[in-house]
Amino acid sequence: MIGVANGGVPPMEELEQLARRRYQKPKPEIHGKYWTIVVRKDEFRDGKLVRTRERVRLALASEPERKVLKLRDAHVNPLNTELPNIGSATNFQQFTEDTYMELEMPELAETTQQRYRGVIDKYLIPAFGELSLGDLTVGKIQAFFTAFRHSDLSHESIDKIRDVLASILWKAREKYRLISDDPMQHITLPRAKNKGRKRKPHITPEQFDELVNRIPEPYATMVYVAIYTGLRVSELIGLKWHDVGFDTLTVDERYCRGDWSEPKSDASNATIGVDRHVIERIHRLKLLTVEVKAGRAVRKYRVVKSDGPNDLVFQSVKDGKPMRDNNVLTRFIKPAARELGIGFVNWRSLRTSRATWMIEAGANPKDVQGQMRHSRIQTTLDIYAQFVPDSQRRAIEQTSKMVAERIANAQRAKAAQAGMLN
Domains of the chain by residue range = 12-84, 92-186, 205-384, 392-422
pLDDT at 384: 59
Please tell me which residue, 395 or 233, carries the higher pLDDT value: 233
Residue 80: pLDDT band with limits 50, 70, 90: low
Sign, Cα dihedral of 16, 17, 20, 23:
negative
CA-CA distance, 343 to 331, in Å (whole number)?
A: 13
Within 10 angstroms of residue 356's Cβ, the number of other Cβ atoms is 22
255-276 in b/e form (b: 16+ CB < 10 A) is bbeebebebbeeebbbebebee
- Percent of the chain, pLDDT > 90? 25
Residue 371: pLDDT band with limits 50, 70, 90: confident
Say if residue 2's pLDDT is above 50.
Answer: no
Residue 338: pLDDT band with limits 50, 70, 90: very high
Helix (H) or strand (E) holding 66: helix 65-81
Say if residue 20's pLDDT is above 70.
Answer: no
Within 10 angstroms of residue 395's Cβ, the number of other Cβ atoms is 11
Please tell me which residue, 141 or 89, carries the higher pLDDT value: 141
Q: How does DSSP classify residue 184? A: G
Closest CA to 331 of 283, 282, 302, 292: 292
The CATH superfamily label for domain 92-186 reads Tyrosine recombinase, N-terminal domain (1.10.150.130)
CA-CA distance, 387 to 403, in Å (whole number)?
A: 24
Residue 332: pLDDT band with limits 50, 70, 90: very high
pLDDT at 8: 44
Residues near 62 by beta carbon (within 8 Å), at least 6 away in sequence: none
Question: CATH class for domain 205-384?
Answer: mainly alpha
Please tell me which residue, 404 or 273, carries the higher pLDDT value: 273
Query: What's this model's pTM, rounded to 2 decimal places?
Result: 0.57
Residue 116: pLDDT band with limits 50, 70, 90: very high
Residue 83: pLDDT band with limits 50, 70, 90: very low
CA-CA distance, 258 to 323, in Å (whole number)?
A: 9
Please tell me which residue, 343 or 7, carries the higher pLDDT value: 343
CA-CA distance, 224 to 282, in Å (whole number)?
A: 9
By the 8 A CB rule, do 355 and 199 touch? Answer: no
pLDDT at 351: 87
Residue 45: pLDDT band with limits 50, 70, 90: low
Angle at the Cα of 290 from the Cα atoms of 289 and 295, rounded to 5 degrees: 140
CA-CA distance, 215 to 207, in Å (whole number)?
A: 13
pLDDT at 295: 78
Say if residue 265's pLDDT is above 80.
Answer: no
Region of poorest pLDDT, from 250-254, 353-357, 391-395: 391-395
Please tell me which residue, 182 or 336, carries the higher pLDDT value: 336
